[in-house]
Structure 1
Amino acid sequence: MIVKLGKLVSCSSEHPSFPARNLCEHRSGSIGSLTWLCEEPGIKESEAIFELAEPSQITGVDIGNSRCCSVKIAGASSNAPEEWVIIVSHTFMSFNDADHGLFKDQVQLFTKKEISAEVLNRVFNRVKVTCSQPANPRVLFGLSFLILRTDDKLDSGNLDTFGRFKVKEDKGDNSLDKFKEKYIQLMKPKPNSFKVELAKQIESNRVVAVNEKRDETPSRKRLSLKLITPANAAIDENKSTETDKKHEIKKRRLSDKDEKPMESSSKQHSIGILQETRTTMSESINRGRLRCSLCLGNEENVLCKTCNLLVPDKDQANGASRQKPAKPKKPVKNFSALFENVTFSLSGYQNPKRDEIRRKALAMGAKYLVNPNGRNHNCTHLVCAFKNTPKYNQLKGSVKIIDQQWVEDCYDKKTRFPWRRYALDKEEKDLPESEEEVDADTGSTDPLSIYDQDTDSDY
């Protein structure tokens, strides 16, 4: 069970966009977006104290590191709020790796095996988180998430206690016994009378079906079978001829002269019905089955030797082969590669808006230039707030100049739109678009990352 962090008591350093209270807002599926970072690069240690929602024993800790060399979690009780007991302490990277920027943000899980027995038996109502990064003064550091866990225990000595809940005390009215009796009455098995009724209904239906089968004449029975398949019709024909022969022998014994005309007429009638059923079944099969590839090369109104079906008309064959052309699909790329060929610079914006635009473009794979140079063509796009800025006059005619809405729409809608829709100059916006829309793979969308590169001067 997760122990909730109630409120933030104090914090020595926190970034305005990533405060320490983010760690209190843990939700499933939100790991990575609730980050706590220090205020600015160069700080060696950052500390935050949280008050738990309720006093709890801590039996597990999950730490998501964000460029910290070491992290230490300590706890204190209400009786001694200043006596901190170390719960876990872990070193994520060496001093040399941090100095050279070899950061590997890791997740470390601590269970009962890694926590001492003395700490497991204590009840804490406060925790203190200490993050240190003394090696690299050029980066922001902190935690991406912090999860504290505890176990629910059943007090075997008191049957009125279930986990963290306690049953209301009995005041002498035997309410618990009444509840048990009512529950037992509800759980009693139902009578099996419905089974007897169901058996009677099945028996009556069976008797009716047998009577109908006896009343059915041989001619009706043969006709119903003929309507199934031509093969069954042929079998029924053989059976009917055999039965007709038997009837002939009986009828000859009674009267040889009177029964011959009736016999021939009944036989002709059955043959006529058989031919009609064959024609109707062949037509339905011809409509339902697919034509083979050899039918298209044969003449019309001729049976195909392969599928033994009539060749379709030319107009019908041509109509079946026609298909609507499929609509062209938009190209798809990873979200982090939408701006892979974009090298941009900013002009006319101030923080925090300037830093927000830069981080969104970098999250989609773009490269950022502080001082672009139009001569060597190392800059492809200029995100400009208004005309006649120094960078605008310097790069006009050599780069694509757009406003901030291009970056924000591409980031929010996860689609790279043509840049001319957002051109700052009206003449460029009226020209035909030279790019096509590119959709991002939604499964590869990355959360907004923090970058170490400083924002350039505002001009």
Structure 2
Amino acid sequence: MPIINIQHIVSFSSEDKIHKAENLLRKNSQGKWRCAKSGESQAVVVMQLEKATRINSIDIGNDGSAFVEVLVSRSSNDQDYQVLLVASSFMTPTEARSGNGSNKVRMFSEDQLSSEIAKQSWNRVKLVCTQPFNKHTTYGLSFINLHSKENEEKSQSPETTSSQLQSASSSRTSFGKFKLKAVDPVAPPSVRNVAMKVETQTFNQAKLGPKIKVEEKTKPGKVSEPQKRKMLSETSTKPKHQKTNRAATDVAFNKLLSDVVFVISGFQNPRRSDLRDKALSMGARYRRDWETGCTHLICAFANTPKFRQVMGDPRGRIVRADWIIDCAAQKKRLPCKPYSMDPNTSDNDDVDDGKPPDDIDDPIEASTDEEDDVIDTDDEIERVKQNIKIESPGAPPVDPYDVSTDDEEEPPVTSSDGIPELPDYFSGKTFFLYGDFPPVIERMLKRHIITCDGTLEEYMSDDVRYVVTQRSWDSSFDDALTSNSSLVFVKPSWVFECGHSKSLLPHSRHIVHSN
């Protein structure tokens, strides 16, 4: 969905001398907004939209805030603010104290917003940030993107009108002056005269055509040798020329992006896998991380780690996902410049873009070095096999491929009424996932815990008993134990082993030990 234009900053509670509130207006920049002093109870900024618009989704880039709330109003009654997005967690207490994970990005779709408020149009937005867990740092936001379906519908209408006018124009010239006068009665006399003159010539040529053919048949005169050679050369060279041009411009769909090596940043499944599948179908090659040989970063937001990495690489191009979508929809390679997220992009960067490469490799050969990337979770599972190792001399390690999935899972024992009975060995146990996980592992952990009657908290609370993490012991663990001495830090392998055996197993072999 198109981004809503933010006109200006109306007011703010405070701002840092460097990280000012107006930085939130800059697109694709590395600016951010922070409050002026550490320990402020809340940081507030009010923004004015270009016009009253319905807000259908929100993208928020954090910068040290624990919670962010979004409210909306109209300038006619700017004191009556309505909650569009309830206070949402961006940092846990442990992360806030340690300073880890302060730049998370969260995307809130329409179903996560207040349904009644999202149906109405608003032109003023208030962002309220709080950080109750760390009083020794300033905090704020790195960016805010508001999206509206209204802009998407309006942006499509000019293209439709233009195509309709173009088709109408072509039909007028092909159907004669009667159609021309009916469709365009206000055309200037000079245009009408030229159109009538051209049509008259065409009509006369059509009338004279049969006579010329008849005369050629009735006159048995021979054609001179120079004329014959000229006619033969024209008839033989013209089709070849047309065929050559057609071969030069037509490129197979699976070779449109054969010279593109891309990386994806800021997207979550299923959209991430959809983008990758579209690009791969056009011959592009995928890489998990930016490395030598990569050409394009398909990015959702500015200021992500990969975005900053590619900004420093003169060979890389940063484009929106719309470039992949539009290339697939139009079945041709489009220039990158209209889709660029790099503010330093120049016209020269797009000289060869939009044209197929001269030497296009066979699409099968071009994709063999990344064949296992076509499956959405294979690359993530490879990481899991390296990151998750069960430190057990007696029991074999749990391979992520051995962990049951939704499609492979055998139905458990059913009750008399035919409803499957789910295991409940995590009943009464509260979990918290700490740190970053590969998406496939995070999904499996959440499914195992919730399916087996466990409780999963979004942030650290006094109810949490088990902290599941892939990290080694650090000082933040000591701080958490000071607040809650009953915490147990375990590795994901414990949850997977319990799921594999379908029973609660001892966690002693999977504990994260202090140094």
Normalising by structure 1, we get a TM-score of 0.36
TM-score normalised by structure 2 residue count: 0.32
When Rg is computed on C-alpha atoms for both structures, the one with the higher figure is 1
